[in-house]
Amino acid sequence: MHQRNLGGLKRFLLLSACPLAVAVAHAAAVAQTAVSTAPATAKPAKAQTRKPPSSLANTGESVIVTGTRSLGTKARNSTSPIDVITATTLHRTGEPNLAAALVKTDPSINAAAEGADTADLTSALVLRGLNPNDTLVLIDGKRRNGTANITADAGPEQGATPVDINMIPAAAIDHIEVLRDGAAAQYGSDAIAGVINVIMKKSDHGTEGNALTGANAYNGDGWQYQLNADQGAAFGNDGYVHIGGALYHTDHFITRAIDDRTGRPDNPITGLPEETRETLSLDFGKTLLPGIEGYGLITYGHRHAEAFENYRLPTILPQLYPFGFTPIETDEENQYSATLGIRGDDFFGFRWDISSTYGADEVGIGNKDTGNPNLYAATGFSPTDAFAEGLRNGQWTNTVDLSRPMHIITLPFVFSLGAEQRYESYDITAGNPASYQLGGTQGFGGLLPANAGHFNRDVWAGYIDGDLHPLPQWDIDLAGRFEHYTDSGNTETGKISSRYNFTKYFAIRGTVSNGFRAPTLAEEHFSALNVSPTGASGDLAVSSAAAALLGAVPLKPERSTNASGGIVMEPIRDLSITADVYQIDIRDRIIGGGNYNGPLAIEAIALTGAVLPSNIGGNDVSAFYFSNGASTRTQGADINIHYFTNLEKYGTINWTAGIDLNRTRLRHLSNDTNGKPLLSAAGVANLTTEFPRSKILLDAFWRIGRWDVNVRQTRYGETKGEEQYTDLAPPDLQFSNTVYLPFVNTPRWLTDLEVGYSITPHWHIAIGGNNLFNIRPRLLPLVTNYLGSNPYDQTSQQVPISGGFYYGRINFTF
């Protein structure tokens, strides 16, 4: 199936995109000759010679490409709040994972303290307290395809199939631009919370790399290492090739059980998975004709990950495991993407860019050290490992972008327009028969053939954008976009942004926009059965008869309205301050709704064709589906302060402070067709209070001679959850979906420290500790601690469960 679909895409690409690209390139060359009687002033597209980003550089002076279609705009001059995070800043965090490094450098970005089931195997970023699906991720301005691995379990990230940013080689990244503003009118679906644009290196020379290794010394496990390297080279006289790669490995990190209810005190369910990951990138560009450049980017990532499930007692399958067993969930994943494009400076006065990007993420989920008890009882045989399901998320995007500086009367104006065609597909492959027959394998039940399938849609879009300066100190940016989804219909979005500079040291800015997010194909069609030692949870496809029994209706897009306003000032030399307030209203949020447990949930699961293990039943069996169940309002403020101090012979210090204040409230809760609210109290908490109310980053980087010291303090505000009563609670409360225990994760301060030394101008070494004092989340009461081995609020977006990480690193630059 996959090969047939891919073949169709290739034929379509050859029949449409390629002739269009050749025609425009030829027309551009002819137009350039016809319009100008003199030789073109544009220089050939020679490779950009990138200087290593200075660790002391003021990122407000960086030229940005995100959130604007005007050339030469600096971050501090943008109409919308935008952060520029350099590769040097990311390296100094001491984090081997790019997602964790971003969390440590931007107060508006968070991540889950702990993943659940397959969600523990991939990374997801949360911007401004919204679902990861509400943040658009670009690479060099091109839309990146998301992971196939959906976050199925309840929590703030439920339903997410975001871009797994850890599958991008960090060595090849020049910097990252984070647009903290709604941008659906500029970029399309998903850009409700904002945009993360990863800008890759494009230098034609130089070699850089680093090696990092470390572990959690308090726990004695979770050992990690990472190797990064990148190399630039000339491509003829006017081109470049830049290659980057990374190798990463982490051992299991395990949080020990609080008590011995499973019969195994070291039940390893709560922890972080073992993972090995390899990533590669190839970035290239070259002049094809005078004023016309061809370019491309190819990335590939592979991951093998293994996560422990709950320990099973010897009574579950004594014939194979007389001493009990711990199933292991496995992830074999391949992520690949390729972009090819041509661009030029003068197509009848327009700058133009034509590109085609194809990317896909393929995931194979399996079980090992497991077994199927019902199958063994019926046949006398059960495999100890099984393929549970296959998932594939594909995306093919073709874009044409045009932009031209002009004047309206005497006013400078940049007019832009463009079109986009996107094909999206999602494939679900059934597991091996033993993984789903007669209740399925322990740990993760396989996907039934009836729930497998190929799903796809087309998206067509067009946009216009105008950047006007009515006065030299006044900037107005207008954008409008129309999109058509073959499964979700039409949508129109708009945005107006404005900035007024009272002086060169003080300005105000503001934005009003509306946006949308179409339901992902995974949210519409995914289904699965997850089995615990005492219960099961069924994820039902919203269009299925099983979901209809529980009151489901078809999904529709989320709709949003964004408003923000702020100030930008430089009160004294080397001190810059930005402060922005924002409000995001989202209607018809896509959530995990229809939460049923007990007999009705068992009946719905039976409609899917699944059979529950013989030892499971009662209230610990639940089922849900995705729904447009709620409307929310998110309000907050972002404050960023940068100050540079020159201490002369005592060195220099870069001071940075960032504050994010964030609160989400429920404005409307819908009912299913059975008249039952689509969210329980726990579900409401997942949307509104499981994110920190505040996050503060305080950073000082001191350099003196060959030495450098980086100190970082991070404060996470409180999170509040509604915790389900489990096996130690009174019988009438166990696994209730109506009565919960309120729980508060109190604020936490984390301290990071790194000390470095430049051995030579080309070699640098550092040692450091992240979360130096091993701070962890607050422990749950035993009545909500399932089997005694789940001691933390799994849905909290506060401090990680892994505690302190202590490392050494060596960098080289040539």
pLDDT at 24 over 90: no
Question: With 90 as the cut, is the pLDDT of residue 532 above it?
Answer: no
Our CA angle for 686, 690, 692, nearest 5°, is 150
- Quick count: other Cβ atoms within 10 Å of Cβ 535? 23
Strands 805-813 and 740-745: unpaired
pLDDT single digits (tens) 69-105: 777 777 778 899 999 999 999 999 999 999 999 999 9
Report residue 788's pLDDT band, with 50, 70 and 90 as the boundaries.
confident
Residue 548 to residues 132, 146, 595, 701: CA-CA distances in angstroms?
A: 27, 28, 13, 57
pLDDT at 686: 93
- Token pair for 208: 């850089």
Mean pLDDT of the chain: 87
Alpha-carbon distance of 383 to 120, in angstroms, equals: 25
Print burial letters for 491-526: b (CB count within 10 Å at least 16), e (below 16). bebebebbbbbeeeeebebbbebbbbbbbbbbbbbb
Provide the pairing of β-strand 239-250 with 253-254.
unpaired
Four-residue CA torsion sign, 116, 118, 121, 126: negative
Is the backbone of residue 587 left (phi > 0), alpha (psi -120 to 50) or beta?
A: beta
Which helix (H) or strand (E) segment holds residue 208: the answer is: strand 207-216
pLDDT digits (tens, 9 = 90+) for 130-140: 999 999 999 99
Q: Which of 12-16, 64-68, 472-476, 598-602 has the highest mean pLDDT?
A: 472-476
Q: How confident is the model over 205-262, as pLDDT tens digits?
A: 999 999 999 998 777 678 999 999 999 999 998 999 999 999 999 998 887 766 656 5
User: Per the structure block, which two tokens stand in for 26?
Assistant: 């030829």
Which of 479, 486, 482 is closest to 461 using CA atoms? 482
Amino acid in the structure at residue 644: F
3-state secondary structure of 81: coil
* Dihedral over Cα of 51, 53, 56, 60: its sign: positive
C-beta separation of 69 from 463 below 8 A:
no
pLDDT in tens, 621-664: 889 999 999 999 999 999 999 999 999 999 999 999 999 999 99
pLDDT (mean) for 9-36: 37
Give the pLDDT score at 221: 77
The values of phi and psi at residue 742, to 5°, are -65, 140
Q: Please answer whether residues 681 and 721 qualify as being in contact, where contact means their C-beta atoms are separated by less than 8 angstroms.
A: no
Q: Is the pLDDT of residue 30 over 50?
A: no
Asked if residue 401 lies in contact with residue 412, where contact means CB atoms within 8 angstroms, the answer is no
Mean pLDDT of 758-762: 95
CA–CA distance, 150 with 519 (Å, rounded to integer): 13
Res 38: pLDDT: 32
pLDDT surpassing 60 at residue 455: yes
Q: What is the pLDDT of residue 281?
A: 96
- Tens of pLDDT, residues 389-401: 999 999 999 999 9
Q: How far apart are CA 752 and CA 96, in angstroms?
A: 14
Report which DSSP code applies to 637. E
Burial class (CB in 10 A: 0-12, 13-18, 19+), 642: buried
The residue with tokens 């030229």 is: 63
For residue 283, what pLDDT band results from cuts at 50, 70 and 90?
Answer: very high
Distance CA 296, CA 36 (A): 29
